C-alpha cells in the first residue's frame, strides 16, 4: 500500500525541448545529415542508427511536417543555439513604458512648458505619455479649460507624437494618451 501512495503523488513532468532519438513518435522521418545534406525519408530506427554511427543525436526539427524533419546533430549544441537565439531576440525587443504627466486647468505657463519639455523627452525615448488634467471643486464647471489645455498639448507635440486615445473624462479628471510617431 505505501508504494501506491508514492506513485500517486509522483509528479509527471513534461520533457523540455525538442524530441530526440527514441522520443520521436513517427515511424518514418525525413533526415538531414550532419553536414546539412538531405538524406531523404527513411524509417526511424535506421535514422537513429545513422546518428549513433556519427556519435550524434537525431533531433526532430519540424514535428508538424509529413513526414517529420529530423537532423543529425549534437543535442547540447542545438539547445545552446536555441538559447542564444532566444536571448538575442529578447535583447532586440523594445519595452514601451507609459509615463504620466499630471496637470491642472490653471497650470502656469512655466510649469506647463517644463512638463511639455519632459513629455517630448519621454516620446523621443520611445515611451507613451499619459496626460491627466485634474479638476477640483468648482473647476468642474470649466471643463473647457481642460479641453483647451489638451488641444494645446496635441498641437505642440504633433511633429513627434500622435494621439493614441483622445481626451476623455474619467470621473473628475480628463485623460489623454499620446505615442511616438
Query: pTM, whole model, 2 decimals?
Result: 0.54
Q: Give per-residue pLDDT as tens, 24-48.
A: 988 999 999 989 999 999 999 999 9
How high is the mean pLDDT of the chain? 89
72 and 106 share a domain? no
Identify the residue whose cell numbers are 473647457.
144
What pLDDT score was predicted for residue 72?
Answer: 94
The residues that bridge with 179 in the sheet, in sequence order, are 162
pLDDT tens column, 76-119: 999 999 999 999 988 888 777 899 999 999 889 999 999 999 99
* pLDDT recorded at residue 38: 93
- What is the extent of the structural domain holding 67? 15-90
- What is the total count of domains within the chain? 2
DSSP per-residue string spanning 4-39: HHHHHS---PPPPS--BGGG---SEEEEE-TTS-EE
Last residue of a domain, one of 34, 60, 90: 90
Say whether both 114 and 167 belong to one domain.
yes
Residues 105 and 84 in one domain: no
Amino acid at each position: 500500500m505505501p508504494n501506491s501512495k508514492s506513485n500517486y503523488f509522483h509528479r509527471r513532468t513534461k520533457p523540455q525541448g525538442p524530441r530526440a532519438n527514441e522520443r520521436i513518435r513517427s515511424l518514418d522521418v525525413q533526415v538531414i545529415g550532419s553536414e546539412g545534406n538531405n538524406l531523404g525519408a527513411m524509417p526511424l530506427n535506421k535514422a537513429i542508427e545513422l546518428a549513433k554511427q556519427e556519435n550524434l543525436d537525431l533531433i526532430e526539427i519540424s514535428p508538424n511536417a509529413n513526414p517529420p524533419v529530423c537532423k543529425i546533430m549534437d543535442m547540447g549544441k542545438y539547445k545552446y543555439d536555441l538559447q542564444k537565439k532566444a536571448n538575442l531576440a529578447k535583447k532586440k525587443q523594445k519595452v514601451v513604458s507609459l509615463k504620466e504627466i499630471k496637470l491642472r486647468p490653471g497650470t502656469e505657463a512655466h510649469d506647463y512648458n517644463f512638463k511639455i519639455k519632459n513629455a517630448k523627452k519621454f516620446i523621443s525615448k520611445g515611451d507613451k505619455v499619459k496626460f491627466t488634467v485634474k479638476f477640483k471643486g468648482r473647476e468642474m464647471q470649466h471643463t473647457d479649460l481642460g479641453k483647451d489645455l489638451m488641444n494645446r498639448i496635441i498641437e505642440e507635440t504633433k511633429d513627434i507624437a500622435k494621439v493614441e486615445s483622445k481626451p476623455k473624462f474619467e470621473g473628475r479628471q480628463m485623460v489623454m494618451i499620446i505615442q511616438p510617431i
